[in-house]
Chains A and B, each alone.
Chain A
Amino acid sequence: MQHLQIIAAQWVAPKIDYFALAPEIVVVVGLCAVLLLDLFIDQRKQWLLTIVSSFTLLAAMLPVLMLGLSETSVRSMFDGRYVVDDFSLVIKGLFLLAGYVVVLLSSSHVEQGEYWRGEYWFLLLTSLLGMLMMASSRDLVSIFVALEFLSIPAYMLAAWRKRDAKSNEAGVKYFLLGVFASAVMLYGMSLMYGVANSTLLVDIAKTLTTTGDFAAVHALAVVFVIVGFAFKVSAVPFHTWAPDTYEGAPTPVTAFLSVASKAAGFVALVVLIYTAFPASQDVWQPFIWVLSALTMTVGNVLALKQHNIVRMIAYSSISQGGFVLMPLAVAGMAGSENSALRSVVLYMIVYAATNLGVFAVILAVSAKTRSGEISSFGGLFSYAPSLGVLMTLFLASLAGIPPLGGWIAKFVAFQSLLQSQSNWGYALAIIGAVNSVVAFGYYGNVMREIWMRPPPDGDVTPIVAPGSLRLALTLTSALTLVFGILPSVGLRFADLAEIAGAITR
Chain B
Amino acid sequence: MFVNQFLFLAAVLFCIGVYGVIARKNAVLMLMSIELILNSVNINLLAFAMRNGSTDGHTFALYIIAVAAAEVGVGLGLVLLVYRNKKTISVDELSEMRG
A contact residues vs B (CB 8 Å cutoff): 3-4, 7, 140-141, 144-145, 148, 152, 155-156, 159, 162-163, 165-166, 168-169, 171-173, 175-176, 179-180, 183-184, 186-187, 189-191, 193-194, 197-199, 243-244, 247-248, 302, 305-306, 308, 311
Contacts and interface: CB of A to CB of B under 8 A. Distances in A.
Contacts of A171: 78, 81
A3 B53 contact: yes
A144 B67 contact: yes
A193 B21 contact: no
Given A172-B78, A193-B48, A243 B71 contact: no
Nearest to A217: B7
Nearest to A311: B99
B96 A190 contact: no
14 contacts: A7-B55, A141-B56, A141-B63, A144-B64, A145-B63, A156-B78, A162-B81, A165-B96, A171-B78, A180-B30, A186-B41, A190-B45, A191-B44, A194-B52
B59 A141 contact: yes
A127 B43 CA distance: 29
A172 B94 contact: yes
Contacts, number: 129
Given A141-B60, A190-B44, A169 B96 contact: yes
Contact of B85 (A7, A155, A168, A184): A168
Contacts of B78: 155-156, 159, 168, 171-172, 175
A176 B34 CA distance: 9
Contacts of A302: 99
A55 to B, nearest CB: 28
B25 to A, nearest CB: 11
Interface of chain B, main secondary structure: helix
Contact of A166 (B40, B71, B79, B96): B96
Contacts of A175: 74-75, 78
Interface of A is mostly: helix
B44 to A, nearest CB: 4
Contact of A168 (B70, B71, B82): B82
Contacts of B91: 172-173, 176
Given A168-B81, A183-B34, A190 B94 contact: no
Contact of A148 (B10, B27, B51, B67): B67
A155 B74 contact: yes
B3 to A, nearest CB: 9
A247 B21 CA distance: 24
Centre residue among B51, B79, B96 by max chain A CB count within 10 A? B96
A148 B34 contact: no
Nearest to A192: B48
B54 A198 contact: yes
A61 B69 CA distance: 33
Contacts of B55: 4, 7
Contacts of B57: 193
A276 to B, nearest CB: 15
Given A148-B70, A159-B81, A248 B96 contact: yes
A172 B28 CA distance: 11
A184 B97 contact: no
A243 B98 CA distance: 9
